[in-house]
Amino acid sequence: MLGYENNHEANQNIFTEDGFLRTGDIGYIDDDGFVFVIDRAKELIKYKGHQVAPGELEDVLNHHPAIADCCCVRGRNAMGEEIPKAFVVLKHPESPNRPTPQDIMDYVAENVAPFKKVREVQFIEAIPKNASGKMLRRQLQERENRLHQA
């Protein structure tokens, strides 16, 4: 593999000594030899020494009957520590029976390990996406970063 053109430093960082490419993807191979990509390493949320994959939380959230869409990012608690935060789009945001942020956090807590729980939920109208429909997590992460710089 040739690598990045005119960027020796990037090539040193992305290739292993034996020539394998570091994609930045996190995944596993099951007993049948199937490869599953779970998330991107640079998007992991580090909570109290544990690594939490946003995609895993999003998978749980997307199974909630009241949720239309979601995106998880690195938030910050009052002490400035990283926490899993979910931006959530409700199917029926005006419904009197809509879930509260605590309802959503409780739902996730029932379905993941204790350290993976979502610690904050913010309802929004839409998850930003590109023209092909891919979630633009970076936009929500940048929004969250700006909030905590103030």
CA atoms within 13 A on the CB side of 35: 4
Residue-wise pLDDT for 78-93, tens only, equals 999 999 999 999 999 9
Query: What are the pLDDT digits (tens) for 32-68?
Result: 988 876 656 667 889 999 999 999 999 999 999 999 9
Q: 1-41 has which fold?
A: Luciferase; domain 3 (2.30.38)
Confidence class for position 2, pLDDT limits 50, 70, 90: confident
pTM of the full structure: 0.77
H helix or E strand, kind and range, residue 82: strand 82-90
Looking at the domain that runs over 44-149, which CATH code has it been given? 3.30.300.30
**Range list for CATH 2.30.38.10 in the chain:** 1-41
Separation of first and last alpha carbons in the chain: 44
Domain with CATH 3.30.300.30 in the chain: 44-149
